[in-house]
Structure 1
Amino acid sequence: MNPLLNALLVVVLALNLFALGTSRLVTVIKIVSLQGVLLGLMPFLIEGHLGWRLLLASGGTILLKGGIIPFMMIRAMRDVQIKREMEPLIGFLPSMLLGALATGFALLFSKSLPLASAHTTPLLVPASLATIFVGFILLTTRAKAITQVMGYLVLENGIYIFGMLLMGAMPLVVELGVLLDLFVAVFVICIIINHINQAFSSLDTRRLVALKE
C-alpha cells in the first residue's frame, strides 16, 4: 500500500473530527471541500498509472466535491445570513468524542470483515466506515439545514472511499452518474434551504414540525 495514500486517509480522519468540533458553517464547508480534493487524488495513488478514464473521474470529483458544491453551499449560507451552528442536539466536544469512538470502532470492525486479500489495506476500509459514521453524526445531531447537508456529503465521501476498492470493476459511466446524482441532490437541497429560510426566517429543521396540511 502506498504510504502517501495512508497519509491522506489519516488527514481525512482528522478532518472528520474537525468538522464535528466546529460551529462555524464556512469552516465545515471548507473541511468537506478539502476532503473532496483529497478523495479526487486518491485514485491516482491506488491505480499507479494515468489514463483518460482515471483523469476524467478524478477531475470530476475534484471539480464537483472540491469546487462547485462548496461554492453553492457558501452562497446559500450567505443568502440566508447564517454563520454558526448554535444549538446542536449533541455538543461539539461530545460530538468529537463520539466521532473518535466511531473511528476506533471502525478500525476494530474492519478487521473482522471477510475482505479479499487485495482489499485488506491498513486504512482504506476503516477510513470509509469512520467517515460514514461521522457523516451520520453530523446529519442527525445538527439542527441547521446547511450542516445537515454537509453531513450528507461527508457520508457520501465515506461511500466514495469504500467504492475505490472496486475501481477496476466499476464502469466510468457509473462513477460519473454518481457524481451527477450528488450534484443534482445538493442543487435541490440549496433550493429547499432558501424556502425553509423564507418560511421560518431560520434554518432550524426542527421548526418543520410546525407544518400543517
Structure 2
Amino acid sequence: MLRFVDPLLIAALVPNFVALGVSRIRGVISAVALQGMLLGLLTLLVHPEIGVRGIVLVAVTMGLKGVVIPWFLAHAMREANIQHEVNPAVGFTSSLMLGALGTGLALVFSTTLPLTEAHAGLLLVPASLSTVWTGFLLLTTRRKAILQVLGYLVLENGIFLFGLLLLEAMPFLVEAGVLLDLFTAVFVMGITIHHISREFASIDTELLTELKE
C-alpha cells in the first residue's frame, strides 16, 4: 500500500498551486475540497491496519473536508456575491513562485529530520510542510475573508498530513477534537463573512480598519 502514498501525495500538492495561482474563489474551494478527499484516502494507505477507528476517521475527514465545509463556503460566497480575488497583497505569479520555493525548502529540510525507517522514504513530511506554507501564504496575502478561511483549511490540511506520522499514538477523541475545532472555526468565519458583507457590501478584510467604537 505504501507504494501508492507518494503518487497520492503529489496529487494532494497540486491543489496547493491551484489555490495560489487562480483568482476564481470557486476554483480554490474545489481545489481545497479535492485535497481534503485525498487526505482521507492517504490515512488508509499510510495506516491500513488501524481498523474501525481509521475507517471512522477517514469517513469524517472526507465528509467534512471534502463535502460539508466546501459547501458551506460556496454558500457564503453566493451570499456575499463575490467570485474573484481582484487585488491580492501578493500577485498570483509571485504566490506560485513562493509556493514552489517553499516546497523545495520543505524537501531539503525533511531530509534533516530523524524519521522512522517506514516514513523516511515517503514524501509525507515535505508534503505536509509545503501545505502548511501554502496555507500561510493564503492567510497573509489574500484580502478576501473567504480566501483567508480557505488558507486556514489548507494550513490545517498540512498539520493533518504531519499527524499521520503519529496516528497510532493519538487517541480517537483528540482526532475528533481537531476536526470539531476545524468545523467550528469555519462556521464562525462564515458568520463573520456574512456580517462583513452586510455592513460593507464587500468581504475585503482591509475594510475592518474602518470600524470605530
Same fold (TM over 0.5): yes
Q: Which amino acid aligns with 1:158?
A: G
Q: Spell out the pairing of 1:122-201 with structure 2 (5 A cutoff).
A: 122-201=122-201
- Deviation of 1:113 (Å): 1.7
CA RMSD of aligned residues (A): 1.1
CA contact (8 A) 2:19 2:31 kept: yes
Secondary structure of the residue that 1:23 maps to in structure 2?
Answer: coil
**CA deviation map 1:55-92 (0-9, x unaligned):** 10000000000000000000000001000000001111
Between the aligned partners of 1:118 and 1:5, the Cα distance in structure 2 is 12
Q: Which moved more, 1:116-125 or 1:64-73?
A: 116-125
Distance 2:47 2:170 in 1: 13
Structure 1 partner of 2:212? 212
Query: What is the aligned partner in structure 2 of residue 88 from structure 1?
Result: 88
Q: CA deviation at 1:212?
A: 1.5
Supply the AA of the counterpart residue of 1:105: L
SS in 2 for 1:160: helix
Q: Distance in 2 between matches of 1:50 and 1:100?
A: 34
**Aligned AA (2:121):** T
Equivalence for 2:31 = 31
Task: Give the length in aligned residue pairs.
Answer: 213
- Partner of 1:90: helix, strand, or coil? coil
Q: Structure 1 vs Structure 2: percent identity of aligned residues?
A: 54
In structure 1, the gaps of 5 or more residues are: none
Match of 1:113 in 2: 113
| Structure 1 residue 195 displacement after superposition | 0.5
Q: Helix, strand or coil for the counterpart of 1:133? A: helix
Q: Distance in 2 between matches of 1:15 and 1:68?
A: 18
CA apart distance, 1:190: 0.2
Alpha-carbon distance, 1:117 to partner: 3.0
Structure 1 length-normalised TM: 0.97
Q: CA separation in 2, counterparts of 1:50 and 1:144?
A: 40
Distance 2:42 2:114 in 1: 23
Q: Secondary structure at the match of 1:168?
A: helix
Conserved 8 A contact 2:77-2:146: yes
Deviation (angstroms), 1:50: 6.0
Give the distance between the partners of 1:14 and 1:30, measured in 2 at CA. Answer: 12
Match of 2:100 in 1: 100
Give 1:47's aligned residue: 47
